[in-house]
């Protein structure tokens, strides 16, 4: 199973179109918020099941604030993260995920890639395709693959400017 994880596209789609061309076929797309009105467009170009959550810039949309769902053997939580103080650290987010029995929690908001794998939980942020803020400022996304044994593997990717 191959899942594309993106965040913080902020109404821009050219980078997402480029990424989809590169990584397809995919079995699912997860968007960690700040879609800014492009949720239907993204569903159309992804051509697979999509999970999207509302970010702090997603006004007047019907996206949920959070999603919790099963992905293979994993219980996954997706949130934008701004309600959990992720700009400071991920401790509140991790605590909430643990309280819900989640093994993988995905967030956005910071526009910086982040991947922390602990014994019982993985916390990740794919970064931003439109407005990256990490050193080098390369647009980023993450590909999650679940192998035949049910193990998840994560691959952080960057688009060359």
Structure-block tokens of residue 77: 């939580």
**Residue position matching structure tokens 């569903």:** 43
pTM of the predicted protein model: 0.97
- Provide the CATH number for the domain around residue 10: 3.60.21.10
Query: Looking at the DSSP assignment, which residues form a beta bridge with residue 123?
Result: 105, 116
The residue segments making up the domain with residue 90 are: 2-158
Q: Terminal CA-to-CA distance of the chain, rounded, Å? A: 29
8-61 pLDDT, tens per residue? Answer: 999 999 999 999 999 999 999 999 999 999 999 999 999 999 999 999 999 999
Task: For tokens 């643990």, name the residue.
Answer: 98
Number of domains in the chain: 1
Q: What confidence tens digit (pLDDT) does each residue in 131-143 have? A: 999 999 999 999 9
SS3 11: coil
Cβ-contact 32, 6 below 8 angstroms: yes
């Amino acid at each position: 199973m191959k899942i594309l994880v993106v965040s913080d596209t902020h109404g821009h789609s050219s980078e997402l179109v480029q990424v989809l061309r590169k990584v397809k076929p995919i079995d699912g797309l997860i968007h960690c918020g700040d879609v800014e009105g492009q949720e239907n467009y993204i569903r159309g170009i992804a051509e697979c099941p999509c999970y999207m959550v509302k970010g702090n810039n997603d006004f007047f949309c019907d996206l949920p604030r959070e999603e919790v769902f099963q992905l293979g053997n994993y219980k996954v939580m997706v949130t934008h993260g701004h309600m959990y103080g992720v700009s400071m650290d991920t401790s509140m987010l991790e605590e909430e995920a643990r309280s819900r029995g989640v093994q993988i929690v995905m967030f956005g908001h910071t526009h910086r890639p982040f991947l922390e794998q602990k014994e019982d939980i993985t916390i990740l942020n794919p970064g931003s395709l439109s407005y990256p803020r990490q050193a080098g400022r390369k647009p980023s996304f993450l590909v999650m693959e679940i192998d035949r044994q049910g193990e998840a593997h994560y691959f952080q990717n960057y688009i060359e400017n």
